[in-house]
Amino acid sequence: MKRQQERAEYRSIIADSWNRCIGYGLHHDYEPEPANLDDRARETLEKDYEALLSTTETEVLPYYNNIMSNSRCLILLADSHAQVLKGWGDKRITESHLRPWFSAGASWHERYAGTNAIGTSIATRSPVQVQRNEHFLKLNRSIISSAAPIFDTDRTLVGVLSAFSDAYLPQAHTLGMVRLLSQSVENRLIVRQLGGDHFILTLNTTADNIDSPWSGLIAFDPNGRIVASNQRADQLLGEALSGRNLSSLFIENRNLILNHSHNTPIQLTTTKRVRLSGLLKRPVSLDTVTTKPVRAILRAKTPEPGVAGVSMDDIEHGDTLVRRCADQARKVLERGVPILICGETGVGKEVMVKALHGSSQRCAQPLVSVNCAAIPPELVESELFGYEAGAFTGARAQGSLGLIRKANKGILFLDEIGEMPLAAQSRLLRVLQEREVTPVGSTERIPVDILLVSATNRPLADRIDNGEFRADLYYRINGLSLELPALRDRMDRRELIRRIYLEHRDSGQSDTLNNEVMAALEITLAGNIRQLVNIVRVAVAIATATTCNSGTAGRISWRIMKVKPGPSANRYSMHRPFGSRPRRMTTPGMTPWIRHWWSTDSAWATCPVQPGNWLSAATPCTSDFGIWV
């Protein structure tokens, strides 16, 4: 279904381009003349785009020198008006009458050149690949073109990076690599323009691939205000980041991020409960300045759920079902049986995997975690299986080992495996059957020794019925199927809540939770343990040491409120007394939302709705203590 939708969108892009060409008055037999710049005009053009040209050459030339010197491929850099700035590669890829179109000054705008990757990418502001017969002009139908736009720090389109090749060369990865190269150029532009006076935070789904050119990049000032980000960062965070503040994006305190060591990864959790790995680079202007550590740094040494150091004893505290799952998984994993872990989001699937790794005979070997939903579809195969040097346009000069081979002798964890593209599924099936990997662009079969654990929060049977997941792969990965219970169904949830609190509390806060607080925390959470951890961490951060001491006035209090959404500053709430079951709001037009409130008893004096007024649904609450989690 998803693939059919992508094909329909692609066909729509080409069809819309052809319609624009017809509107420009073009016909298929039209043969335009390319512009021919003299030396002075060419020098002026290069001077106007000096920064973009030099940045692109830093990224592109290493790939060209090591890969494309032996392949019939040409890379072009064009400005935002589709005018060629410079080209690298083999201009013999096509007939001589097209070669002038690869010289500086030639315009690939749809108005003159019809449908083509450069012009269509500018028109759509998105990556495009145009096959031979999809070009509007017959003049261009001997080539395949791929292009991706380049945006500057203000998200202004400044250029397009494109690759042209013979129509009969393999094209499976060319568009993906052009996107990768354009992303690399964008990253360099951000660092080059802002790195001197701003912090640069690199983000990715795991620390294993944080050095990838496909990582997200955020530039922000010492106050945490984001001044620029690349497209990948916006994708990882799920929103446009420019102008936002770190405090509104991550659960972690802003100062914890600012004071983190620049050469070690930091684990971050977004406010949307997505876990990412980050690497911080300090501004050049602050390299010699020593920043005073904040209190949160002292707590950062304590591992949170989902980081290294998790033991089997940490994943359950009296729940027989979780213990049985852990015991069974440990026994079968040592025998090489693949494990499929199912469960709702946030129930601890990744924590279970890390505990299994730590207790296995392969604990000294790598555990490589792969979020199958986070890798762009066109790059999944090269990221998983690796590739040879020169395998395709834009491949790294030294090739890539691939995540599967990185997990050799250890454990490979495929999270959200149901999101893996079908093409990658067939190759993964062969790897699991033969225990051999064939890198992209190679015929050599390389043996691998891995233990496989997969996880999903969606029914794979439904995806099989929809043709989105291979049934034979399902039976291959499903040696032992484990269903982790939701937090609401766990028998040990009280002990789990207590331990999470002890793990994140400050030294001056009480080491116990009273019955009222415990009862409030036992509510049903859609995000399960992950959401519970976030709630406790936010609450502990907001509360003061005095707040957590014993005594009536300083007793910790939770209030769960259902809030009417909307742009109004007034927030309508409903309270439930402690010890009672949460009720679903059924007032017409009121959508149930859960809000968590951490405060002292005295803080409720600022809110017109006092505790116990459970049915006062129309009273606006203006207290500043509320935090969305």
Calculate what percentage of the chain has a pLDDT beyond 90: 19
- pLDDT value of residue 389: 62
Contacts of 489 (CB under 8 A, 6+ apart): none
391 or 289, which is more confident?
A: 391
Q: Is the pLDDT of residue 259 over 60?
A: yes
Rounded (10°) CA dihedral 182, 235, 534, 554? 90
Nearest to 244 by CA among 281, 201, 210: 201
Query: In b/e form, how buried is each residue of 583-600, taking b as 16+ CB within 10 angstroms?
Result: eeeeeeeeeeebbbbbbb
Q: Which two tokens stand for residue 93?
A: 């890829």
Containing H/E element for 568?
A: none
- pLDDT value of residue 20: 95
Q: For residue 88, how far is the Cα from the chain centroid?
A: 31
Query: Mean pLDDT score of the chain, rounded to an integer?
Result: 75
Residues 39-49: pLDDT tens digits?
A: 888 888 888 88
Over residues 72-91, the mean pLDDT reads 85
In CATH terms, are 195-294 and 312-485 the same topology? no
279 or 589, which is more confident?
A: 279
CB 227 within 8 A of CB 220: yes
Over residues 536-554, the mean pLDDT reads 52
pLDDT band for position 618 (50/70/90)? very low
Lowest-confidence pick of 112-116, 158-162, 464-468: 464-468
**Which of 115-129, 357-371, 426-440 is most confident?**
115-129
CB 142 within 8 A of CB 130: no
- Amino acid letter, residue 611: P
- pLDDT value of residue 228: 92
Task: Give the architecture (CATH level 2) of 2-191.
Answer: 2-Layer Sandwich (3.30)
Pairing between β-strand 557-562 and β-strand 451-456 as defined by DSSP bridges? unpaired
Residues 438-483: pLDDT tens digits?
A: 887 777 888 999 999 999 988 898 889 888 899 999 989 998 999 9
Q: Which two tokens stand for residue 145?
A: 């073109």
Maximum Cα–Cα distance for the chain, whole Å?
A: 87
Radius of gyration (C-alpha) of the chain in whole angstroms: 28
Round to whole Å and give the CA distance between 148 and 156: 14
**HSE of 526, CA atoms in CB hemisphere, 13 A:** 7
Q: Is the pLDDT of residue 289 over 70?
A: no
Domain ranges of the chain: 2-191, 195-294, 312-485, 491-627
- pLDDT value of residue 284: 67
Over residues 293-309, the mean pLDDT reads 33
CB 332 within 8 A of CB 473: no
Residues 1-23: pLDDT tens digits?
A: 566 777 788 889 999 999 999 99
Nearest to 385 by CA among 341, 432, 418, 338: 432
3-class DSSP state for residue 298? helix
Over residues 543-570, the mean pLDDT reads 36
Three-class secondary structure assignment of 437-492: ECCECCCCCEECCCEEEEEECCCHHHHHHCCCCCHHHHHHHCCEEEECCCHHHCCC
CB 561 within 8 A of CB 628: no
- pLDDT value of residue 59: 64
Three-class secondary structure assignment of 61-105: HHHHHHCHHHCCEEEEEEECCCEEEEEEECHHHCCHHHHHHHCCC
Over residues 521-537, the mean pLDDT reads 78
Calculate what percentage of the chain has a pLDDT beyond 70: 74
- pLDDT value of residue 166: 64
**Which of 60-74, 216-230, 290-304 is most confident?**
216-230
Lowest-confidence pick of 390-394, 489-493, 623-627: 623-627
Lowest-confidence pick of 55-64, 304-313, 514-523: 304-313
Q: Is the pLDDT of residue 604 over 70?
A: no
624 or 308, which is more confident?
A: 308
3-class DSSP state for residue 146? strand
Round to whole Å and give the CA distance between 199 and 254: 12
Q: For residue 366, how far is the Cα from the chain centroid?
A: 22
Nearest to 629 by CA among 537, 516, 506, 508: 537
Pairing between β-strand 411-415 and β-strand 451-456 as defined by DSSP bridges? parallel
Query: In b/e form, how buried is each residue of 476-498, taking b as 16+ CB within 10 angstroms?
Result: bbebbebebbbbeebebbbebbb
Residues 473-527: pLDDT tens digits?
A: 998 999 899 999 988 888 888 888 888 888 877 777 777 777 777 777 777 677 7
Over residues 517-545, the mean pLDDT reads 74
DSSP 90: -
Task: Give the architecture (CATH level 2) of 195-294.
Answer: 2-Layer Sandwich (3.30)
Helices (H) and strands (E) in the chain, counts: 19, 22
Q: Is the pLDDT of residue 296 over 50?
A: no
3-class DSSP state for residue 46? helix
Q: Is the pLDDT of residue 571 over 70?
A: no
Pairing between β-strand 480-483 and β-strand 571-572 as defined by DSSP bridges? unpaired
Q: Which two tokens stand for residue 534?
A: 């976030």
Contacts of 133 (CB under 8 A, 6+ apart): 141
CB 453 within 8 A of CB 328: no
List 159's β-bridge partners, or say none. 79, 150
Report H helices in 245-284. 254-258
Round to whole Å and give the CA distance between 287 and 291: 10
286 or 573, which is more confident?
A: 286
Q: Which two tokens stand for residue 334?
A: 């040592």
Q: Which two tokens stand for residue 440?
A: 């992209």
- pLDDT value of residue 341: 94
**Both ends of the chain: CA-CA distance in Å?**
33
| Model pTM above 0.75 | no
- pLDDT value of residue 466: 87
Q: For residue 595, how far is the Cα from the chain centroid?
A: 26
Nearest to 514 by CA among 551, 482, 489: 551
Over residues 77-105, the mean pLDDT reads 81
Tell me the CATH class for 312-485: alpha beta
Three-class secondary structure assignment of 138-206: HHHCCEEEEEEEEECCCCCEEEEEEEEEECCCCCCCHHHHHHHHHHHHHHHHHHHHHCCCCEEEEEECC
CB 40 within 8 A of CB 47: no
- pLDDT value of residue 25: 93
pLDDT band for position 568 (50/70/90)? very low
- pLDDT value of residue 432: 87
Round to whole Å and give the CA distance between 176 and 505: 45
Token look-up 């020169």 returns 390
Contacts of 215 (CB under 8 A, 6+ apart): 187, 202, 203, 204, 209, 232
- pLDDT value of residue 562: 33
Round to whole Å and give the CA distance between 150 and 415: 31
Q: For residue 209, how far is the Cα from the chain centroid?
A: 11
Lowest-confidence pick of 215-219, 396-400, 579-583: 579-583
Over residues 245-274, the mean pLDDT reads 84
Q: Is the pLDDT of residue 224 over 70?
A: yes
CA distances to 22, 248, 258, 538 from 279, in Å: 49, 19, 11, 23
